[in-house]
Each structure stands twice: as C-alpha cells, then as structure tokens.
C-alpha cells in the first residue's frame, strides 16, 4: 500500500516554457521548483548554445535573458534529446530569428511528425528543410521576416499552438490561431506575464507582435501528469492514503481528476490557491475498492492525453467496460502508446482490445507479473511500475532509466511511500 505525503516535482510543460520565454526576455529571471528532468535539461542546453546565460542552483534556475531579438546563431546543432516539446516550441522561436539552425533528437524524436509545425511556419514565410519534406529530423530552419497568419489547426496539440504563438511574436502583424479542441494553455498564461499581447476568445488566440518581453520570477507548480502515477497507485492498492502537495490544477490538465471521480475513485482537492496565474492544490487520494468503468473521448482527451497509459492500468481494476477513443495522437508520442499499453496489458492477463484511436478494457481482473517492453517511453515505464503494485508476481521493465525524462527520483519516492 502507499501511505504518506510529499511535495510534487515541477511541471515539465511549464519548466520548458519558463526556460524558453526567459531566454527571449530582457533581464534576469529566476525559475523556482524547476523540473530537472532530462527533457527540460535538453531545453536548457539548446538555449545555452544560442548564447543564453543559464545557471542551475539546486531546484532554481537563473536565466539572463537575451531579449526577443538577442539569441545568437548556434555554433553547433541543437539536440533536443527525447523532447517533443523542445523541438516543436523551439521551431517557432527559431522561425522568428534571423539565422540558420539545425535540430536533431534521439531515435524516438526521429519518428515524431514535424509537418504539423513546419507547414504552418512555412505559410508564415519561413524557409525550412528536413527529411521527408521537413516532417522528420534533421530539420534546418532559416529564420526571420515572418508574415502574420490566420490559421486553423488540424490537430489538437498544445505544442503546435505554442510554436505558432511564439512565431507570431515576430510576425509583421496580428496573427490568429484557431484551436480544434482546447489544449493546455501554459504558453498563453506565461507569455502574457512576460508582457506579450495575447488575447483568447473561445478557441481563437490573437497575438500582436511586441518589441520586447520582460523578465519574470516564475514558480513552477507540481506536475499533474507525474502525480497521475501515484494517484492510480493509491486508488488500486488496499489501505492506501496519500497526500500529494502542490499539484498544478490548470483546468486544461485536470482530465484525470474528472475521470477518477466518474470511476468512483476517492480523491479530494485541498487547499486550492493561485500561483503565478496557475491554479495549484493538494490532493488526498485513498484506496477505492468500488471503481467502475467509464468512457473517455472527445474534448477531454487533450486534458489527459499523457495520463492515458496509467488510466488504462486503472481501468483493469474497475468493474465493467472502459472505452478510450478519439486518442489517435497517442500513436505519435515517445512510442505508439496505444500499442505499447495494449500489448503489455495483455501480457499481464488483462482483457483489452486495441482500437484505431484508443482501446477497450474489461475489468476487473487480477493482473499477473510480466516482462514489459517500455520502448524507452517514460510514461509506459511508470504506468507498468504501477500495474506491478497490485499484481501477482513481478513486473520487469526492460528500461527504467527513461523515467528520468520526466520524473527523476520516481523509484525512491515510490519506495518511501510503500509500506
Ligand atoms: O515533450 P513530449 O515528448 O511531447 O512529451 C509528452 C509526454 O508524455 O511527456 C508527450 F509525449 O507530453 C506532451 C503532451 O502530450 C507535452 C505537451 C506540451 O508541453 O505542450 C503537449 C502534449 O503534446 P501535444 O502534441 O498534444 O501538443
């Protein structure tokens, strides 16, 4: 069982944005509770290569911003490692800067589609070269002289939206980005605090270019996507009771809380407060023996996209048929997360069927130990470490180190909470 309370590590999405926006602001920035995960360290490394002075001190990061037009041409290739957020968002910034830069990443990044970003950036007048018509790395961006855009997005993606908002800061007039479905809005919230001229009307984001962004002190709230593993662990293991402190509760990220409530999970939000424009609170989660199945589809999907692997584990412990659909995007994450979850759950004895855009899971079943293929995907590794908690036998992960991408210290925390 899991017992105790702990402070949650910083949010990955917000940590990336804090480094990027600080780097293109004017003045000294302090970022507290920064996530020292490998993905966020890749973002730091890319901006250092463009002449930004970034110092790490414990969980704080100090960034001396170069100003909106002050980045230097990188002397070296920019390597984003495993980070989709870095490559998508940085492309928007590079498109606005008058120099050439080449982006590469690891094997998984090499398979993740970039046309969703490079196509609209080309429409803004940016010259971009890359494998398969700039769909895959290496991608070379020749930035500068962007025209404004009025663009209807074709995928529900915060990364595409953010890249286009960032490019719009450098455009020659007002841009409008129309979202298909509302996705996480940390870029809009944080850029406004840096002085960007951004207004949001329903699904339309209006951006007027500005001369400069101004430095900030940023506190990064805890990552609800990381909390998700502990939430599910506590819900499914007998006798558990955990308090997770300092969880980011931005409404565009809290789909998992709605799902847990629909499934009759015992979860309570305590001590809600607003920190730097983001809602934060503590979560009290207790073992829930009477979980029921649910359907997860449509507009909630972007609000819990990264939590689906562990929600699937939860569904195996719920009575009835859980349906997850409209989640095709899972196929182009760090791994094909639909296949990875379905195949591994089958190995553990779950009743699960793969769909083109999701999966169907019938519960409740007793899971058994298995050798799990993580595909070096941090969310798959953590989801199946949670499946291990209630199962008969042992789960053996073929790779554990990938967890450092988003949750350094994960196994120590799990051990500290386990009694
Ligand atoms: O950064 P990366 O590799 O894309 O990370 C993932 C994750 O599981 O941590 C997705 F694989 O999160 C994305 C998320 O799925 C982070 C993100 C963001 O910070 O803007 C947005 C989502 O991606 P998308 O493509 O839906 O915009």
> What string of H, E and C letters represents the secondary structure of 191-237?
HHHCCCEEEEECCEEEEECCCCCECCEEECCECHHHHHHHHHHHHHC
DSSP H or E segment with residue 403: none
Based on its alpha-carbon atoms, the radius of gyration of the chain, rounded to whole angstroms, reads 21
Q: How far is the CA of 184 from the centre of ligand 1 (A)?
A: 10
279 phi and psi, to 5 degrees?
Answer: -75, 135
Among 96, 86, 87, 101, which residue's Cα sits nearest to residue 126? 96
Q: Which atom of ligand 1 is nearest to the CA of 12?
A: 19
Q: How far is the CA of 188 from the centre of ligand 1 (A)?
A: 16
DSSP H or E segment with residue 127: strand 127-130
* 25 close to ligand 1 (CB < 6 Angstrom): no
**pLDDT the model gives residue 390:** 84
Distance set, CA 339 to CA 268, 351, 374 (Å): 32, 14, 11
Mutate to test the pocket of ligand 1, among 21, 84, 332, 338 (most ligand atoms within 8 A of CB): 84
Q: How far is the CA of 52 from the centre of ligand 1 (A)?
A: 24
In the numeric block, the tokens 């925390």 are attached to 413
What is the number of residues in the chain? 419
* 186 close to ligand 1 (CB < 6 Angstrom): no
Ligand 1 atom 13: residue of nearest CA: 85
Among 348, 238, 353, which residue's Cα sits nearest to residue 287? 238
* 188 close to ligand 1 (CB < 6 Angstrom): no
Q: Which of 11, 223, 306, 388 is catalytic?
A: 306
**pLDDT the model gives residue 303:** 98
Q: How many CB atoms lie within 10 A of CB 362?
A: 17
Structure tokens at 164: 């286009």
Q: Which residues of 316-340 are buried (b: 16+ CB within 10 A; e: fewer)?
A: bbbeeebbbbbbebbebbbbbbbeb
Query: Checking DSSP bridges between strand 60-66 and strand 53-57, what pairing results, if any?
Result: antiparallel
- Bond prior to 71 in cis (omega within 30° of 0): no
| Structure letter (DSSP) for residue 74 | P
In the numeric block, the tokens 């996480």 are attached to 184
**pLDDT the model gives residue 276:** 85
Q: Which atom of ligand 1 is nearest to the CA of 157?
A: 27
All domains in the chain, ordered by first residue: 12-219 (3.65.10.10), 224-417 (3.65.10.10)
* 379 close to ligand 1 (CB < 6 Angstrom): yes
Q: How far is the CA of 399 from the centre of ligand 1 (A)?
A: 20
Q: Which atom of ligand 1 is nearest to the CA of 160?
A: 27
**pLDDT the model gives residue 236:** 98
Residue-by-residue pLDDT tens, the chain, 419 positions = 999 999 999 999 999 999 999 999 999 999 999 999 999 999 999 999 999 999 999 989 999 999 999 999 998 999 999 999 999 999 999 999 999 999 999 999 999 999 999 999 999 999 999 999 999 999 999 999 999 999 999 999 999 999 999 999 999 999 999 999 999 999 999 999 999 999 999 999 999 999 999 999 999 999 999 999 999 999 999 999 999 999 999 999 999 999 999 999 999 999 999 998 899 999 999 999 999 999 999 999 999 999 999 999 999 999 999 999 999 999 999 999 999 999 999 999 999 999 999 999 999 999 999 999 999 999 999 999 999 998 999 999 999 999 999 999 999 999 999 99
Q: How far is the CA of 403 from the centre of ligand 1 (A)?
A: 15
* 84 close to ligand 1 (CB < 6 Angstrom): yes
246 touches 189 (CB < 8 A): no
- Global confidence as pTM: 0.98
Active site residue 306: yes
């Amino acid at each position: 069982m899991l017992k105790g309370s702990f402070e949650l590590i910083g949010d990955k999405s917000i940590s990336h944005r804090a480094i990027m926006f600080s780097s293109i602001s004017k003045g000294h920035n302090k970022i507290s509770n920064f996530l020292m995960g490998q993905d966020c360290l890749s973002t730091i490394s890319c901006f250092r290569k463009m002449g930004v002075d970034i110092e790490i001190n414990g969980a704080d990061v100090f960034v001396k911003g170069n100003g909106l037009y002050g980045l230097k041409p990188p002397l070296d290739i920019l390597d984003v490692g495993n980070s989709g957020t870095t490559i998508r968002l940085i492309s928007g910034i590079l498109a606005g800067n008058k120099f050439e830069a080449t982006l590469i990443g690891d094997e998984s990044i090499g398979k993740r589609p970039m046309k969703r970003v490079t196509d609209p950036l080309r429409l803004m007048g940016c010259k971009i070269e890359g494998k398969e018509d700039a769909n895959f790395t290496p991608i070379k961006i020749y930035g500068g002289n962007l025209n404004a855009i009025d663009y209807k997005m074709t995928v529900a993606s915060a990364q595409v939206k953010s890249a286009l908002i960032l490019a719009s800061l450098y455009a020659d007039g007002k841009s409008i980005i129309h979202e298909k479905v509302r996705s996480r809005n940390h870029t809009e919230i944080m850029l406004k605090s840096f002085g960007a001229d951004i207004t949001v009307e329903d699904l339309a984001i209006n951006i007027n270019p500005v001369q400069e962004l101004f430095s900030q002190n940023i506190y990064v709230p805890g990552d609800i996507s990381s909390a998700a593993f502990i939430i599910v662990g506590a819900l499914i293991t007998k006798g558990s009771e955990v308090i997770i402190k300092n969880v980011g509760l931005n409404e565009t990220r809290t789909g998992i809380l709605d799902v847990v409530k629909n499934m009759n999970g015992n979860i309570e939000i305590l001590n809600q407060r607003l920190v730097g424009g983001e809602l934060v609170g503590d979560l009290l989660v207790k073992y829930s023996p009477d979980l029921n199945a649910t359907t997860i589809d449509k507009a909630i999907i972007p609000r819990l996209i990264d939590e689906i692997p562990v929600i699937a584990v939860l569904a195996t412990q719920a009575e009835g048929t859980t349906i997850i659909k409209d989640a095709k995007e899972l196929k182009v994450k760090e791994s094909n997360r639909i296949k990875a979850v379905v195949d591994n759950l089958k190995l553990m004895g779950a009743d699960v069927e793969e769909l083109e855009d999701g999966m169907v899971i019938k519960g409740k079943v007793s899971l058994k130990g298995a050798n799990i293929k993580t595909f070096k995907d941090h969310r798959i590794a953590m989801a199946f470490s949670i499946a291990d908690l209630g199962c008969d036998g042992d789960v053996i992960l073929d790779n554990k180190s990938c967890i450092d991408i988003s949750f350094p210290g994960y196994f120590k925390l799990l051990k500290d909470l386990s009694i």
